[in-house]
Amino acid sequence: MTKRQRLTISHLPNAEKLIGLRFTAKERQLMLANLNEQLAAYEKLRAIPIDNGVPPALSFDPRVPGMTFETSQRRIRFSKVKRPRLPDSVEDIAFWPITQLAALIRTKQISAVELTKLYLDRLQRYDPILKCVITFTDDLALQQARRADREIARGEYRGLLHGIPYGAKDLLATRGRRTTWGAEPYRDQVPDINATVIDRLEAAGAVLIAKLSVGALAWGDVWLDGVMTKNPWNLEEGSSGSSAGSGSATAAGLVGFAIGTETLGSIVSPSNRCRVTGLRPTFGRVSRYGAMALSWSMDKIGPLCRRVEDCAIVFDAIRGADGRDLSVTAYPFNYDVRLDVKQLRVGYVKSAFEKRRENKANDDETLRVLKSLGINLIPIELPRFPYNAMTIILFAEAAAAFDELTRSHRDDLLARQVKDAWPNVFRHSRLIPAVEYIQANRIRSLAMQAMHAALHAAQIDVYVVPSFDEADLTRTNLTGHPAVVVPNGVTRKGHSSSITFTGKLYGEAAALLVAKAYQDATNFHARKPELPSN
């Protein structure tokens, strides 16, 4: 270390101000040698290259003492679909749910190749308007679709996703094809692996037709070169992020379903804005191997679909341990459409529904619909902690994930250089003290324990909450709870509105079933945006 780099006593008072502490002159003198040793240690650590995919040695576990979970996997039962009839206008099926598309393929009324070409045509037609695709995968898609048709012809039917075209958020690695993370420094990145989710969907027979847009490094709906993905319902606004393309393409009928990710709202937000259904699984349910890491203790992968049951079908295909992401647990997913949801204890966060907000009327109507289904809604309140203050956990982990980008100043290449965009967050998060990061995680443990105690005391299986109740969105992303977000109308100002059904840890099945009961009783999911011809 050169003399210019060495710390002196004069540096310390300002450094103390950054962390909100004050030391005496004697304490500063005693600390000085250690601080210079630490600075030298930082340089040695920084000399070792660390790939984004390398996790820290410490892993987050959302379970707390006293919890018990189902351990036996029972037969999963989805809805039975009557043999559908191919409409005169094949274009109409672009908005059909997976269950109906699967029935068309299984009964050979349409081939996987024909369905794939239909969606590829729609992608090519509407992407110039919506800006939801980063990379088309036509050649791979047609190859996978032809294989699906051959297998189905031989009687080798893999299940409901066999031959169904989908799109993947472009932070999931695809072997030999660029995976840009929506960010300029990585625009030409070509991985030599597939993400586990990509492999599992291929094993299920699904057909990958596009890598969909992701807000740069999983923030917002603006990606390479400042391009913004549009909301099909209102082309004057973005689709929201960061699963921007996944929400937009699904809403516009350009894919059969899509895969997104969430760290702090990136499935919930575009699902709300684009009026689609999204599932954010429990933390540790789906392997993140091959996915861009932002926060090792908060990142989650899940589907965005047109129907609740579609989310259940896709989730079933991608869940489970792979031996690569060691945070993944192997609890069962006992989805059974025959279950009477009146047998479940469903709560609602009373104080959240009482708040004045633009979508209050739609949320109140949601409660009325649920009650009309015979569901006994139980008022609950959830633990209050400084959840927003605890987001330094995400910021510190994200800054570590992209440390080299910051130190190399290649963060200047990103199009968005504003207060809340990642380049600025990575920079200021370098000044988060390690002690505060650990303390925030300890408070997180208290919040997790309090959350379990509250749900256990009320014996709640699922609870309902406005999708953008800020406390709950941050709370549940920190505690790792699963959530299903479903459209529930449009506000008087013309903005999209949604409701969220939150399950217990590993309780996706119950949350999905209650959400499905609500969705089946309404028709918001059946509406289609009107898109102009390009």
Tens digit of each residue's pLDDT (9 = 90 or more) over 478-513: 999 999 999 999 999 999 999 999 999 999 999 999
Burial, 532: exposed, middle or buried (Cβ in 10 Å; 0-12, 13-18, 19+)?
Answer: exposed
Place of tokens 């919040």: 447
Share of the chain above pLDDT 70, in %: 99
Vertex 46: Cα angle to 425 and 41 (nearest 5): 110
Other CB atoms within a 10 A radius of the CB of residue 388 amount to: 10
Q: pLDDT tens, 412-440?
A: 999 999 999 999 999 999 999 999 999 99
H-only helix segments in 279-346: 308-318
The two tokens of residue 252 are 């516009």
Token output for 371: 């009650």
Res 4: pLDDT: 47
Q: What integer is the mean pLDDT of 339-349?
A: 98
Domain residue ranges in the chain: 93-329+343-386+438-523
Decide if pLDDT at 5 tops 80. Answer: no
pLDDT in tens, 120-133: 999 999 999 999 99
Q: What's the pLDDT band for 88 if we cut at 50, 70, 90? A: confident
Higher pLDDT, 470 or 448: 448
- Cβ–Cβ under 8 Å, residues 261 and 169: yes
Residue 2, pLDDT > 70, answer no
pLDDT band at 470 (very low <50, low <70, confident <90, very high): confident
Q: Is the pTM of this model over 0.85?
A: yes
Give the whole-angstrom CA distance, residue 109 versus residue 107.
6
Alpha helices in 188-341 (DSSP H): 196-203, 244-251, 268-274, 308-318
Sequence-ordered list of residues with C-beta below 8 angstroms from that of 458, at least 6 positions apart, any chain: 345, 347, 378, 380
* Average of per-residue pLDDT across 295-318: 98
- pLDDT for res 59: 93
- What percent of the chain lies above the pLDDT cut of 90? 97
Q: Which residues contact 296 (CB under 8 A, 6 or more apart)?
A: 55, 56, 59, 60, 327, 397, 401
Query: Could you write out the DSSP letters of every residue in 116-173?
Result: HHHHHHHHHHHHHHH--EEEE-HHHHHHHHHHHHHHHHTT----TTTT-EEEEETTB-
The residue-averaged pLDDT of 466-474 equals 92
- 115, 165 in Cβ contact below 8 A? yes
Distance (Å, rounded) from C-alpha 59 to C-alpha 296?
8
Residue 466: DSSP 8-state: E
- Domain at 93-329+343-386+438-523, CATH class: alpha beta
What was the pLDDT predicted at 453? 98
Mean pLDDT of 28-42: 94
User: Annotated active-site positions, please?
Assistant: 169, 242, 266
pLDDT higher than threshold 50 for residue 3: no
Kind of pairing, strands 496-503 and 483-490?
antiparallel
Whole-number pLDDT of residue 315: 99
Q: Is 12 helix (H, G, I), strand (E, B) or coil?
A: helix
- State the number of CA atoms in the 13 A half-sphere of 354 facing the CB: 6
Burial class, 64, CB count within 10 angstroms (exposed 0-12 / middle 13-18 / buried 19+): middle
In this predicted structure, the answer to whether residue 323 has a pLDDT above a threshold of 60 is yes
Angle at 481 between CA 478 and CA 482, to 5 degrees: 130
- How does residue 390 score in pLDDT terms, banded at 50, 70 and 90? very high
The pLDDT assigned to 534 comes to 60
- Provide the pLDDT for residue 21: 95
**Higher pLDDT among residues 183 and 2, named by residue:** 183
Q: 109-135 in b/e burial notation, b at 16+ Cβ within 10 A? A: ebbbbebbbbbbebbeebbebbbbbbe
Residues 502, 476 contacting (CB under 8 angstroms): yes
Q: Sorting pLDDT into bands at 50, 70 and 90, what band is 1?
A: very low
204-244 pLDDT, tens digit per residue, is 999 999 999 999 999 999 999 999 999 999 999 999 999 99
Tokens of residue 46, six digits:
């920084």
Cα 88 to Cα 81: distance, rounded to the nearest angstrom: 20
Task: Please check the confidence at residue 291 and state whether its pLDDT lies above 80.
Answer: yes
